[in-house]
Amino acid sequence: MPLPPALKQYLNIADLHHEARRRLPLPVYQYLERGSDDEYSLRNNTSAFDHYQLQPHALADVSRIDTRTRVFGCEIDWPVILAPTGMSRLFHPDGELAVARAAAQAGSLYCASTFSSTDLESIAAASQGPKMFQVYVVTDQQLNNQLIERARNAGYEAMCLTVDTVVGGNREAVARAGMSIPPALSLKSMLQFAARPRWVWSYLSRPKWDLANLSERIRPGRNGKRDMASYLGGLLERRLDWTHAERIIRQWNGPFAIKGIMSVADARRAREIGASAIFISNHGGRQLDCTPAPIELVAEIRAALGADIEIIVDGGIRRGTHILKALAMGANACSIGRPYLYGLAVAGQAGVEHALRLLRAELERDMTLSGCASIAAITADLVRDPAPRLRPIPTTREVSP
């Protein structure tokens, strides 16, 4: 899709972020952007990249840059995956369909969410690009099985199991903004939605949507309306353990990733039960707060596991240099969520394509300036850790009188 002239003013992901904030109602924006508790993990996911420096390789032939790579058994044009994000029609009426098409256009891989606002079959049919389907372990075993078989029948190449959401994170800013799923006008949120009439008109003038993959399961509540909140509250399996993951891996019997791995021990266990890949991820800082940034863990996990498992760094990616650092430290690819959603909010499919175009152009330029003509040329000596960051020694917490 040619670049619309209006998008030329957005020169980086931060520009798209600023415009998305201007266009979205505050409750919707807060749902997209904010993290849990004090948002340490949210901030640290990106700021942690600044700690590491790049040491370029001099006098290297970079007349041709090759960003092609292979993940989950799929050939992709560059090492970026579009992470699963629920309810993308919150941000643009075309939602997941626009994202899937943009991913294919950009030569990337799109991961569709169980909580998508478009059904997984329609997403699979939207483009010829490679796709992964993301599942949770839910209390309804029949639903688990159905989702896996539906993904298989729809032609998804890989599957991803998210394991860090047995309960929702404490997202206080979202609660204060009066956000509900699906959005509903209340005294608290009415003025905030009214301040974005374009979004409201688009939302009200299009067919209503819900969690399309689960719609047949959500029954009417006491008020006669579909009680989505109550249904989701009891959906995710709190007794989740490694046997659940192992069963799904066997059932899928193909490229399989576990998303939400944050330690060497869990990475080893994931490999032992048959996962072919892991997403080092703290869910974008939206679940447990005070966790390390994924970039801080990738080198030690790669050193511990060697080359026989694929590692995806998920969280905080905003620049081509971030991708470059992650690859140099041992990742096979990076995964982005908010950056493409900013583009979606700004201009639908064209906006997502623009966000991906910006990141890829940055990566290619950074590879050129670093003396790396291919993904294979991005090696560990490209990154320098100037000084290990000192972490405070744990002490007994003082209790105020």
From the list 156, 158, 159, 192, the residue with the least C-alpha distance to 174 is 192
Distance CA 338, CA 170 (A): 19
Distance CA 249, CA 239 (A): 18
Q: Active site includes 283?
A: yes
Read off φ and ψ for residue 159, nearest 5 degrees. -130, 150
Residue 44's Cα: distance from chain center in Å? 16
Q: Where are the beta strands (DSSP E) in 125-274?
A: 131-135, 158-162, 256-261
Which residue is it, tokens 């744990």? 394
User: Could you check whether the bond before residue 84 is cis, i.e. omega within 30 degrees of 0?
Assistant: no
Distance CA 93, CA 95 (A): 5
From the list 269, 259, 319, 265, the residue with the least C-alpha distance to 294 is 259
Angle, vertex CA 239, rays to CA 238 and CA 241, nearest 5: 120
Distance CA 272, CA 343 (A): 38
Six token digits for residue 175: 């609660």
First to last CA, the chain: 63
Distance CA 312, CA 331 (A): 6
Which residue is it, tokens 């994000």? 85
Distance CA 318, CA 315 (A): 9
From the list 304, 389, 383, the residue with the least C-alpha distance to 56 is 383
Catalytic member of 17, 51, 92, 283:
283
Compute the CA torsion angle 23, 24, 30, 31 (nearest 10 deg). -140
Map residue 131 onto helix, strand or coil. strand
From the list 181, 173, 242, the residue with the least C-alpha distance to 29 is 173
Q: Which residues are catalytic?
A: 283
